[in-house]
Amino acid sequence: MYSDTECTRRAGNSTRSCQSTSLSSRYVRGCGSNQDLSKRIQSLSSPSISEIIYNNETFPLLAEFLQIHGRESLVGFCAIVIGISNLSADKRQALYAVRAAYRQYVDDESISNSWLQPTTRESIRQQMSQRN
């Protein structure tokens, strides 16, 4: 039985306990296995942003969340990313979409893109100027 202050693990017919204040220190002290903790963390882990964006069920939820919090431009950017990935077979169309996204979300200062860090924006600008 586990509690905030004590963990107990039954091994065969014996029972051993240790005093601890956190789950991680209980496992480090040997009252459970680190492998068990790792499995628990993995099963509770969040999906990656790619998994959210490219999933037909989760993307609308993400879009709604971003719109509620005033990040409409980020929703549009995500939609363009999805569109570009779908155009990967047609490189000319994909390049056109990338340039359009650059003009709209990186180069245009009038759009509030607070989600795009200034250092990231400048790095993208430098890369684009080197390619032109």
Domain count, the chain: 2
22 in the same domain as 55: no
84 in the same domain as 30: no
Q: Describe the chain by its helix, strand, coil percentages, rounded to 5.
A: 60, 10, 30
Report the distance separating Cα 57 and Cα 53, nearest Å. Answer: 9
With a cut of 70, say whether residue 66 has pLDDT above it.
yes
* pTM metric for this prediction: 0.47
Domain with 22, as residue range(s), is: 6-44
With a cut of 70, say whether residue 8 has pLDDT above it.
no
pLDDT in tens, 76-124: 888 877 777 777 777 888 888 888 888 888 887 776 666 778 888 888 8
With a cut of 50, say whether residue 24 has pLDDT above it.
no
